[in-house]
Chains A and B, each alone.
Chain A
């Protein structure tokens, strides 16, 4: 309408069109869009490279080479003097590896008296066979004297060779698997007793110096304990603090100061929280070293600022009309907060909490100082016993010399990424489902 009126004002003489830089502005917009797309594709390419390198190195960790052997639980080897009824320790210290060796010798058709050839079998089966067979006997002592098929883990180097991770073309002396062992490996593969099976051990075993018997069991439990502790402590403290700051506290210099400090704390390097944990929780309060409980406390301190910031934002996003309506109908301030504001802010609070938890799950640095970057083989039954965490296990495996740990490390990263993705997706779903727009 304005255009028309302007034209009429200008009269009959058509004015030359004003140059409003339309072409230039469209070009600028096109350029900007291209920059944006470039930025996103650079990000996506790096993500793809990272995922590819992790998955291509790590997917093999989910399979483990085992040899299925008919083990003869020979009484003559396990309990030569027949004392197990009176002295149970006989069965603990019995020569279990011999059972596995005998079974393998029979399977490969080696003459049992040919000690030289049998010696070459060293490093074929995992040393974990000892505990594996001991557990079989402990679970069912009646197995002694009978023969049973057991899947024995192959040693890590053989596992790497089986998966093609060791270059068999280099000189025999320079690699950890001998030519004879490769021949045996092929022999067992053809008759089907040596095969890759799903690696449940990766999820159930504790730390070990042998790649084939090391797993993330202790780390998963430790991380679980810490997440529960962080959730139980950080969520109520964080929510209470933010409700007070947002709804009750008088706005003034003091609250400003607190706010600045909270924002600063959120950006403090996580190792600082580890130092704090070491000096306060372990040295001063005398809590045990390496325990998941102390780890949980340290991660709580680290997560609190994130949760407070997210919660305050969520509370502030609830429109003032809700507050006025509640107060107008005679609700007390506390009723207003707990019955009206908090339920509406809950999706935002939960999203912030889950993102804070996800960050805490991936944290190693603060755990280093409180002794959780450690070799822990036993399952922690309570949060007060030594444990590790998922990222710590990745770090520990990255430091190992054996080839087989490389794939385990990448496998562990895949597991950690799956956990993180699950948490972040939960956060997104919660937000989508419950968030209300005003």
Chain B
């Protein structure tokens, strides 16, 4: 028995050594944002079904930052071809890419995504403005011109029009790409519009410190960071009927029989209001293509073309059905042309 295992493991090790010189990869590899993941999966699946001569691309999740980091590891067989991202690539990330030899990056914007506030289906209607969110969830707010630890415990203390519920908000954790939108479009905005930003600056903080103070979330348990996915947020709302959760628009639409959505600045979130730019809490979604891999990894160019086709990202497409907000027609055309022209960053 031992002899058999020894031979077999010797064979396995030999196999491992030869794998270093394995044949060229024939499958596109994609990694990145978990928000883009469902869309990328739909496209990958349809791509594999339409182009039977190419394999279905492999799509990893793991977050925008992790995806871009893998993307920037370098050029070659064992690096990924596309990084999905729910935010624009940062300058220092581009720099680390260039340092590793990934010189030509093509940016593709696929559409928009909105984040929504939702409560239990049987609760009252909610109408929020960024100022309410800031006053309810920020770590420090300005009361009578002075910066104090957030004293609010009920929503109707924040805004008399809101219900008499204890503040319990389930918001995306700090590693989520969504968190950035939440901070930028709600907390920072609310901080500014409530005049708190001025007061904080007047109290002696410089611009950078003041911006940081604005988006700091209270840590006394009233705002709960959800590091998992929206399923967890949904479970929290199910167990705490007076909780308020933050969801992606598509997740909300898939679970509209359990959740009631809040308006922000009087606008009901929907694909239409986001596409028109009326609903304030939305963001563009991107993916980044390694130009050096085009023409090397079979099907990569076809995949990107297929992704950008109106059949996939148009207003009447499987991605739109799932919740992606299609970019306006002109913008979609621009993306296609920019990609085909080989425009790099």
Contact = CB atoms under 8 A, between A and B. Distances in A.
A is bound by B: yes
Contacts of A29: none
B229 A399 contact: yes
Interface string B39-55: 01110110011101001
Contact of A239 (B2, B12, B31, B251): B2
B211 interface: no
B254 A377 contact: no
B78 A282 contact: yes
Contacts of A182: none
A170 B257 contact: yes
Interface string B1-45: 010011011001101100110100101010100100110111011
Interface in A80-104: 92-93
A37 B56 CA distance: 54
Contacts of B180: none
Contacts of A176: 254, 257
B27 A92 contact: no
Contact of A236 (B9, B42, B250): B9
B22 A398 contact: no
A403 interface: yes
Contacts of A290: 29, 58, 60
A289 interface: yes
A398 B231 contact: yes
B5 A235 contact: yes
Contacts of B77: 286, 288
A22 interface: no
Interface of B: 2, 5-6, 8-9, 12-13, 15-16, 19-20, 22, 25, 27, 29, 31, 34, 37-38, 40-42, 44-45, 48-50, 52, 55-56, 58-62, 70, 73, 77-80, 121, 229-231, 248, 250-251, 254-257, 318
22 contacts: A93-B50, A173-B256, A174-B257, A175-B256, A209-B38, A209-B45, A232-B5, A233-B9, A236-B8, A237-B9, A286-B77, A287-B19, A288-B19, A293-B15, A293-B19, A342-B2, A371-B31, A371-B70, A376-B58, A385-B27, A386-B27, A400-B38
B229 A398 contact: yes
Contacts of B251: 401
Contacts of B79: 289
Contacts of B42: 209
A399 B34 contact: yes
Nearest to A171: B257
B257 A166 contact: yes
A286 B78 contact: yes
A401 B38 contact: yes
A175 B258 CA distance: 9
A403 B254 CA distance: 8
Given A286-B20, A374-B31, A374-B61, 7 more contacts: A127-B318, A232-B9, A377-B48, A378-B48, A384-B22, A399-B37, A403-B255
Sort A-B residue pairs by CB-CB distance and give the 3 closest, nearest first: A377-B56, A375-B59, A374-B60
A130 B49 contact: yes
A181 to B, nearest CB: 14
A229 interface: yes
A135 to B, nearest CB: 11
Contact of A368 (B41, B48, B62): B62
B262 to A, nearest CB: 15
B37 A283 contact: no
A227 B49 CA distance: 30
Interface string A125-156: 00100110000000000000000000000000
Contacts of A371: 29, 31, 58, 60, 70, 80
A239 B2 CA distance: 9
A81 B128 CA distance: 58
A211 to B, nearest CB: 11
Contact of A373 (B40, B44, B52, B62): B62
Contacts of B256: 173-175
Contacts of B15: 293
A284 B59 CA distance: 23
Contacts of A174: 121, 256-257
Contact of A375 (B37, B52, B121): B37
Nearest to A287: B19
A399 B230 CA distance: 8
A236 B45 contact: no
A285 interface: yes
A297 B59 CA distance: 22
Contacts of B29: 289-290, 371, 386
A208 interface: yes
A7 interface: no
A179 interface: no
Contact of A131 (B37, B49, B80, B231): B49
Nearest to B39: A209
Nearest to A128: B49
Contacts of B61: 373-375, 396, 399
B58 A401 contact: no
A402 interface: yes
A408 B60 CA distance: 20
Interface string A376-395: 11100000111000000000
A167 interface: yes
A112 to B, nearest CB: 22
A338 interface: yes
Contact of B45 (A166, A229, A232, A377): A377
Contacts of B45: 208-210, 377
A399 B231 contact: yes
A232 B13 CA distance: 10
Contacts of B13: 233
Contact of B121 (A166, A170, A209): A170
A347 B61 CA distance: 41
B317 to A, nearest CB: 12
A282 B5 CA distance: 26
Contacts of B49: 130-131
A399 B19 CA distance: 33
